[in-house]
């Protein structure tokens, strides 16, 4: 009897070993999903990245470039028998100079000098710069008139640089220029005599005589000129 039991147990064990295993069914709606790893880890893709690699970081934007600022100011004027000169200071050597009428100042030309202002011309564009004021622009934009800052300090001229006024050629002066020159010399005196009509009238007569005499000298020089 014991022999029969052993034989039956052996037959059951052999049957269990030969029975095929049930495979896990694949859901029909998964489609290509089970094979996605093949495309994700394609060894033939030159642009593939490690799955745990950090995403690329965008480069920080470059800081904005500061604007290029240009400026020039009228520091003073000097009017004498030898002519008029204006003293400028600015952001570059082209604006740091003593200029007479007809001299360049940057891209402009000095066309008129008065005791309290100058006139600059570039083509059909004119600028009027009052004393102790400045023109300022950014990135080649439009020149804008502005007051000098309270802490403004003029640029020191290079060592040894001095201003030598240009000699005037009397033959190039006009009667109107002569009159402007004479009147500018006595402008302050006339202002002081504004409340004294009698003295003011006497001074004006003296100025008229001086102007007339200077104009006559010019006329003589013109006649002598070849």
**What average pLDDT does this structure show over 53-68?**
77
Residues 133 and 182 in one domain: no
pLDDT tens for 83-129 read 788 889 999 989 998 888 999 999 999 999 998 999 999 999 999 99
Residue 39 belongs to some domain of the structure: no
Residues 75 and 137 in one domain: yes
- For residue 63, what pLDDT band results from cuts at 50, 70 and 90? confident
Q: Are 71 and 135 in contact (CB under 8 A)?
A: yes
Q: What is the CA angle 188-169-183, rounded to 5? A: 15
Number of domains in the chain: 2
Whether residue 185 has pLDDT greater than 90? no
CA 43 centroid distance within chain: 55
Residues 112 and 73 in one domain: yes
pLDDT of residue 142: 92
Residue 4 belongs to some domain of the structure: no
Residues 89, 74: Cα–Cα separation, whole Å:
7
Residues 143 and 77 in one domain: yes
Q: What's this model's pTM, rounded to 2 decimal places?
A: 0.48
Name the residue among 111, 103, 99, 108 with its Cα closest to residue 74: 99
**What average pLDDT does this structure show over 217-222?**
75
Residue 23 belongs to some domain of the structure: no
Q: Which of 87, 115, 147 is the last residue of a domain?
A: 147
Residues 142 and 74 in one domain: yes
pLDDT of residue 36: 64
Residues 160, 198: Cα–Cα separation, whole Å:
48
Residue 20 belongs to some domain of the structure: no
- For residue 15, what pLDDT band results from cuts at 50, 70 and 90? low
Residue 220 belongs to some domain of the structure: yes
Q: Is 88 exposed, middle or buried (0-12, 13-18, 19+ CB in 10 A)?
A: buried
Residues 132 and 202 in one domain: no
pLDDT of residue 5: 47
Residues 14, 146: Cα–Cα separation, whole Å:
108
pLDDT of residue 187: 66
Whether residue 166 has pLDDT greater than 70? no
- For residue 214, what pLDDT band results from cuts at 50, 70 and 90? confident
| CA distances to 54, 64, 77, 141, 177 from 67, in Å | 38, 9, 31, 10, 42
Q: Which of 132, 147, 162 is the last residue of a domain?
A: 147
- For residue 73, give the CATH number of its domain: 2.30.30
Domain that holds residue 178: 171-224
Residue 206 belongs to some domain of the structure: yes
Whether residue 79 has pLDDT greater than 70? yes
Q: Are 110 and 86 in contact (CB under 8 A)?
A: yes
Residues 106 and 142 in one domain: yes
Residues 91, 196: Cα–Cα separation, whole Å:
45
Whether residue 209 has pLDDT greater than 60? yes
Residues 81 and 143 in one domain: yes
Residue 79 belongs to some domain of the structure: yes
Residue 19 belongs to some domain of the structure: no
Residues 142 and 176 in one domain: no
């Amino acid at each position: 009897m014991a022999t029969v039991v052993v034989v039956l147990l052996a037959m059951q064990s052999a049957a269990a070993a030969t029975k095929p295993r049930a495979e896990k069914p694949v859901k029909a709606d998964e489609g290509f999903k089970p094979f996605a790893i093949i495309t994700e880890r394609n060894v033939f893709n030159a642009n593939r990245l490690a799955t745990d690699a950090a995403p690329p970081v965008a480069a920080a934007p470059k800081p904005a470039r500061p604007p290029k600022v240009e400026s020039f100011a009228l520091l003073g004027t000097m009017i004498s028998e030898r002519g008029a000169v204006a003293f400028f200071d600015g952001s570059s050597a082209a604006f740091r100079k003593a200029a007479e009428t007809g001299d360049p100042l940057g891209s402009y030309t000095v066309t008129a000098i008065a005791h309290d202002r100058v006139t600059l011309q570039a083509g059909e564009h004119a600028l009027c710069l009052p004393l102790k004021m400045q023109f300022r622009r950014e990135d080649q934009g439009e020149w804008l008139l502005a007051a000098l800052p309270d802490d403004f300090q003029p640029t020191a001229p290079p060592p040894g640089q001095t201003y030598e006024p240009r000699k005037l050629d009397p033959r190039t002066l006009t009667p109107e220029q002569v009159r402007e020159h004479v009147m500018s010399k006595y402008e302050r005196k006339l202002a002081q005599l504004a409340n004294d009509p009698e003295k003011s009238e006497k001074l004006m007569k003296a100025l008229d005589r001086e102007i007339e005499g200077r104009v006559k000298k010019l006329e003589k020089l013109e006649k002598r000129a070849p």
